[in-house]
Amino acid sequence: MKEQKGFSKQGFMNTLGATLESICRGKCEIILSYDSKLTQQHGLFHGGVIAAIADNSAGFAAYSLMEENYQPLSIEFKINFLSTAKGEKLKAKAEVLNAGKRIFHVRSDVFLLNEDQEQLVASALATIKATRTVSEL
C-alpha cells in the first residue's frame, strides 16, 4: 500500500512513535502514545506534536485519493487547540472535505484517548497539493 510505504519512510513519524492506524478513500487516522520526549514544559503533549499528526493525517487522507505517481505536499494548515492534552494517546482523524484535481481541502480533528474516552483537543484545516515531484511544489 503506497500510503503505508510513504508513512514508514517519514523519519519524523518514527521519532514521534506515530503509527498509521487506518486509511481509506479520503480518510486517515494516526495514533501515538504519550512519551516524555513529546512534552511541553508541564509534561503535557506539546502543541507541535498535536499539529504534526493533524497535518500528516490530512496529507495521507488526501494521498489516498490521488492518482498514481502523485504525492501529497502540505501547502498550509491551521490548528486550534481546544484544551491542553494530558493523557495516554492521541488520535488524529482526517477527512477530505473537497478533492480537486490537484488541491485537497482536509479537516483533521485530534482526540485525546484515555481508557475508553475520546476528547476532542484540537481541530485543523489543511490544504494539500498533489505533486508529481517534490521540486514541483
Please report, as ranges, the residues that interact with a copy of itself according to CB under 8 A.
6-7, 9-16, 35-44, 46-49, 51-53, 55-56, 59, 71, 73-84, 97-98, 100-103, 105, 107, 120, 123-125, 127, 129, 134-137
Distance set, CA 135 to CA 46, 61, 76 (Å): 31, 22, 17
**Shortest Å, Cβ 115 to a copy of itself:** 20
Distance CA 107, CA 54 (A): 9
Q: CB-wise, 113 or 119, nearer to a copy of itself?
A: 119
> Which are the contacts of 60, defined by CB distance < 8 A and separation ≥ 6?
3, 6, 7, 20, 23, 28, 30, 72, 94
Q: CB-wise, 105 or 113, nearer to a copy of itself?
A: 105
**Shortest Å, Cβ 87 to a copy of itself:** 14
Q: CB-wise, 65 or 73, nearer to a copy of itself?
A: 73
**Shortest Å, Cβ 109 to a copy of itself:** 9
Helix (H) or strand (E) holding 112: strand 103-114
Distance CA 35, CA 9 (A): 21
